[in-house]
Structure 1
C-alpha cells in the first residue's frame, strides 16, 4: 500500500549493457527467445539473475482486451488468440495512478502479464508462482521494476506477475447493474485463466500454480480461495501482510466512492447510470490524478477500495458472500497456505501524523470522528471501539510528538490496517482448512527498508512490504543485493527457498538455514520468526489482538 516514490525508465535493449536500475544484464542477440503458446507466438528478451543465471523474460503481454471506451468499468474480455507475433521484449505500462515522473509508462491499456522462465527448457514442468502486487488497490504494478525475477529465478520456477485495474477504474461499485464491482479481481481471474492455457510452453506446470500476493495482493489471494470464478486455477497460496477478513465491514457496494469520484470530475450524481456514463467520457489521467482527493484525513483511510459482495444482476459474480462466512462454512477452494505479517507493519504512519501539528491537533480534538476513518472501524459502535482502542494503545492519553505515543499509534495503525486481519485469517484457516497452514513473522532488519530514519538514513524496524525486498528485485527503490556472504544475502536465500519448496511440495521445509517450521494448529499456534537466525515461536502478538477480538468477536 505505497505510492511509487521513485521511478525508473522501462528497460531497453543494450548490447552487453549492464542495466544499473535493474541489476540485470540485457543482451541484444539474434537469438531472442520465442515461445509458441496456444494463443500465439511471443518474443521475449534475456535477463540475468543476481547469481548470473540467464532468464527468458516476456513482459507486457496483453491477457485481456484494452479496458477502454465502452469496455471501461466492464468485466475484462480475455484475449484467446493473438493475430500476430507478440513483442514482449520491453516493459508494458502500469495501470493509471498518480506518479511523479511524467515519463513513467502508464496507460489504461494495462492488462498485461509478465513471464520469467529459466534459459533452458526443463526436462519436467516447473512449479509456477503468480504474484499479485500490493498498492492498496490504487497504486503499484507487476512490472519488473517492482517485482523483478532477480532472486526467485535462481530457483527452478516460472514466475508470473500481473497488472490489474486500480482505484475507480478497477473497483467502482454502485450496487446495481451499472457498476456491480470487483472488476480488478476479475482481471486477476482472467490472468489466472491465461496462465492455465498458456504456461506449459514456457516450461511451467499448469497443475502446480501458487498464487501469492502482498498487502492488497494478499487480500486478493484469500478472495480467490472463496470465489466461484477462481476454482481449479491454483494449487497453493501465499498471503503476505494482508487479509480481507478483519474488523472492516464487507459491503454490497461502495457507492459513496463512486459519487465522490464523479463530483471530483464534475459528473452528475443523481443516478448510477449518470455517474458511470459521465465517467466513461473522462480522460484516464484525470481519474488517476484525482486519487489524493479521495482520502478523508491526510492519506487515510489507507484502504479506500475494498472487495464487495456483488449484487446478482445477471453477471458472473466474483464474490457471492462475505469471505468470513465462506471460510467458516468450508465453502472455499482450500490449498496449502502460507500467511505472514511483518513485526512493525505500518508503524511509520504514526510519524506522518505526529510530525504534522495540524493532523495531531485534529486527531486529538475529533478522535471519535477520525479514529474510525484511520483505523477502518465499522460504523456500528464506532465511538465505543475508538475509545477502547485509545485506552489499549495510548493509555487513554492525547497524542504527543514523543516516542511513547509514536510506538502506540504506530502499533494501532499496523494492527488495524493489516496485522489483526492477518491474525484472524491465520487462526480461521488453521481451523477450517484441511491443508497445512504455515504462519511467519518477517522480523529481519537489514540494510534497506521501506521506511528509513530521516535522521540516520537507516532502517529502524521490519515495515510493511519489507519481506518483498528479499523476494524480488525492486530497482524502483533499492539496489540488487549481491550474491555474497552478507546477512542480507542469506535472507534472500532463505525467502526464495521458502517460496520454492512451498511451490513445489506445498511445504516450505526443509530449510537449509534454521529450524523445521511446524504448521500452525489451533492448539499450537506456532510460527517462523524470519530473522538472522530464524526461530520458531508461538502466539504471535496475541496479547495486542485480544482487545480487537473482544470488540469484534467471531466464532473461530
Structure 2
C-alpha cells in the first residue's frame, strides 16, 4: 500500500504537538486526525483518509473489497482522496485507483467509547461515474449538531461497475465498497463515540439510489437502521442497467481487450493502466444521453457475495428481500433542471433530433411524448419549463413515487416523503424551483454550489438539519406545529411540503404527475416486465 505507507509516521513527534491532535486506536492501528471549525464556530474532530479496504489495484481490480492490512505507527488521517473518474468539465481523468478511504467527523474535542451518539453515513452522488465526498458532502453544517458523521469514496465508472453479466465479472464493485464501508462503521464507530445500533444512511442523486439499493441487498442487512434518500431511488430508469454487456464490449474494444473468453478479458483488463480504462469511458458515452451513466448497478448471478440478485421493483411487488426500516424520500420541484439546463443553449439541435427521444424510444412513443408535454410545439425558451418537467418526471419523480407507494405496502416501517420548493440558489433559475439535489446545501458543504447562505436560507438550514438529526435519532419526522404523516399502507401520496422557513405543511396528492402517462407507453421496464 504505497499511499498508506507514505502517510504513516513514527510516534516521534513532540509530546506537545501530539496532544493537540485527536488520536483513536482502531483494531487496524492508530490514527491521528485534526480539529476543524463548524459552520457556526464549533470545534470538532476530523479524521480524513482512513482506509476501510485494501487498494483495489492489480489483482484486486474488479474484485470484492478486501480487509485492510493493519499498519504500524500512527496513520496521519488528514488526507483527501478521489476515486479515478472522467471529469466532464474538461474530459480529463482525475483521481486515483487507490481510493477506498473514509472520513469520520465527531462534534466534540474530546470523546470516548460508550457515548452512543447517533451516526449519519452519507453516500455521494454523481451518476455512479464521478464525484467525491470532500467536494459534495462536507461536514461543517452537520457538526453544529450532536451526531457522528461519515462519508467515503467508492469505486466509480468501469472500475466500480464493469460487468459481463456473469460470476467472473459480475459488477457492482462500487456498491460492495459501500457495504464494506458500512461494515467498517459497525466495527469501529464506537471508538469515535458513535452508536453502531443507530446508523442512518443518507445520499443524494446516485447516492440516494445507492441508499435505496441497500434495502434490497443481502450484504447490507443489519448495517443501517433508517435512511434518507434525496432526489433519486432504485426505481429511476437510469439506475439498474438492463444490459451491462453493451458498454462493457465497447470499452473492452477501445483498450484492446477483445477476447471472447471472459477469463482472458478480465486478465487483460487488469493488465491495462487504470487511467487508460477510465479514459476509454469517453467512447461509451452517447451524445444526448441523460444522465451520463454508461456504467452502473446491475443484477448479478446469485452467489453469497452478490450485492443485487433481483431487480428492486420485482422485490417490492413480491415482498422479497426488502429491509424493514424507516425510509424518507426527498424530491425538489425542479428535479429536471440539472440535466435539462445543459440543452438550453442547444434548442435548435434538440428540436431537430425529435426532442432527443428517438434515440431512446420508438418513434411512435416519441410522438406521444411530444403531444402530451408540448402539444407538438417546438421547445423554446418560453416553454422550456415543460422540458424541465419531462426530465424531472421521467428521470426522477416517477421512480420515487413508485418506490414510496410500493414500500408503503410491503414494509411495516414508516415511509416519509418531503417535497422541497424553497427556490433555487442559482441566479436566474429561481422560477424553475429548487434543482435536482439542490437541498444538499442545507445539510452539507457542496463545493460547486454557492455555499453563502442568506438569513432566510440559514433559518431553512437549521429547520432541515434539526429534522434530519431528529430522524436519525427516532426514525420519525418532526417539524414544530405540523402533524407528520407516513405513507404506510396508503394509496395517495402524503408529503411534507417545504416552501420556506415559515411555510411547511402536510399535503396529499394522488400523484406527482406524469406517472400514468409513462406507464401507458409500455416501456420495457418495471410493470411491463414484472407485473403490478
Distance in structure 2 (CA, Å) of the matches to 1:57 and 1:336: 29
Deviations 1:326-363 (A, max 9, x none): 22233211101101111111225334335226632542
Alignment of 1:6-17 (within 5 A): none
Runs of 5+ in structure 1 lacking a partner? Answer: 1-27, 373-381
Distance in structure 2 (CA, Å) of the matches to 1:414 and 1:303: 17
In structure 1, the residue matched to 2:369 is: 389
Determine if the alignment matches structure 1 residue 470 to structure 2 residue 439: no
TM-score normalised to the size of structure 1?
A: 0.84
Determine if the alignment matches structure 1 residue 216 to structure 2 residue 177: no
Alignment of 1:477-492 (within 5 A): 477-481=449-453, 486-492=455-461
In structure 1, the residue matched to 2:476 is: 507
- Residues 423 and 430 in structure 2, CA contact (< 8 A), matched pair in contact too: no
In structure 1, the residue matched to 2:317 is: 328
Alignment of 1:421-440 (within 5 A): 421-440=399-418
Match of 1:401 among 380, 383, 389: 380
Secondary structure at the counterpart of residue 355 of structure 1: helix
Deviations 1:102-142 (A, max 9, x none): 99972110011110011232773111110011000001011
Distance in structure 2 (CA, Å) of the matches to 1:329 and 1:147: 35
Deviations 1:419-471 (A, max 9, x none): 1111111111112110111101111115x24xx43xxx878521012010111
Match of 2:493 among 521, 525, 528: 525
Aligned in 2, Cα 1:280/1:336: closer, same or farther, shift over 3 Å?
same
Distance in structure 2 (CA, Å) of the matches to 1:401 and 1:348: 17
Instruction: From the two aligned structures, give the one with the greater helix fraction.
Output: 2
- Residues 473 and 480 in structure 1, CA contact (< 8 A), matched pair in contact too: no
Determine if the alignment matches structure 1 residue 237 to structure 2 residue 227: yes
Deviation of the 1:235 alpha carbon? 0.4
Aligned in 2, Cα 1:550/1:248: closer, same or farther, shift over 3 Å?
farther
Secondary structure at the counterpart of residue 36 of structure 2: strand
Aligned in 2, Cα 1:272/1:103: closer, same or farther, shift over 3 Å?
closer
Secondary structure at the counterpart of residue 324 of structure 2: coil
Deviations 1:228-255 (A, max 9, x none): 1111111001111111224569557501
Runs of 5+ in structure 2 lacking a partner? Answer: 1-16
In structure 1, the residue matched to 2:37 is: 48
In structure 1, the residue matched to 2:279 is: 289
Deviation of the 1:476 alpha carbon? 4.2
Secondary structure at the counterpart of residue 543 of structure 1: coil
Deviation of the 1:264 alpha carbon? 2.7
Alignment of 1:256-405 (within 5 A): 256-268=246-258, 270-312=260-302, 316-330=305-319, 331-356=321-346, 359-364=349-354, 369-372=358-361, 382-397=362-377, 399-404=378-383
Deviation of the 1:390 alpha carbon? 2.3
Distance in structure 1 (CA, Å) of the matches to 2:491 and 2:341: 37
Deviations 1:234-282 (A, max 9, x none): 1001111111224569557501111111233333254433433332222
In structure 1, the residue matched to 2:49 is: 60
- Residues 226 and 332 in structure 1, CA contact (< 8 A), matched pair in contact too: yes
In structure 1, the residue matched to 2:25 is: 36
Secondary structure at the counterpart of residue 36 of structure 1: strand
In structure 2, the residue matched to 1:114 is: 103
Equivalent pairs counted in the alignment come to 504
In structure 1, the residue matched to 2:6 is: none
Distance in structure 1 (CA, Å) of the matches to 2:286 and 2:93: 28
Distance in structure 1 (CA, Å) of the matches to 2:101 and 2:444: 18
- Residues 132 and 153 in structure 2, CA contact (< 8 A), matched pair in contact too: yes
Aligned in 2, Cα 1:95/1:539: closer, same or farther, shift over 3 Å?
farther
Aligned in 2, Cα 1:247/1:258: closer, same or farther, shift over 3 Å?
closer
In structure 2, the residue matched to 1:15 is: none
Distance in structure 2 (CA, Å) of the matches to 1:301 and 1:496: 29
In structure 2, the residue matched to 1:417 is: 395
Secondary structure at the counterpart of residue 197 of structure 1: helix
Aligned in 2, Cα 1:220/1:540: closer, same or farther, shift over 3 Å?
farther
Determine if the alignment matches structure 1 residue 543 to structure 2 residue 523: no
Deviation of the 1:540 alpha carbon? 6.8
In structure 1, the residue matched to 2:143 is: 153
Distance in structure 1 (CA, Å) of the matches to 2:94 and 2:241: 34
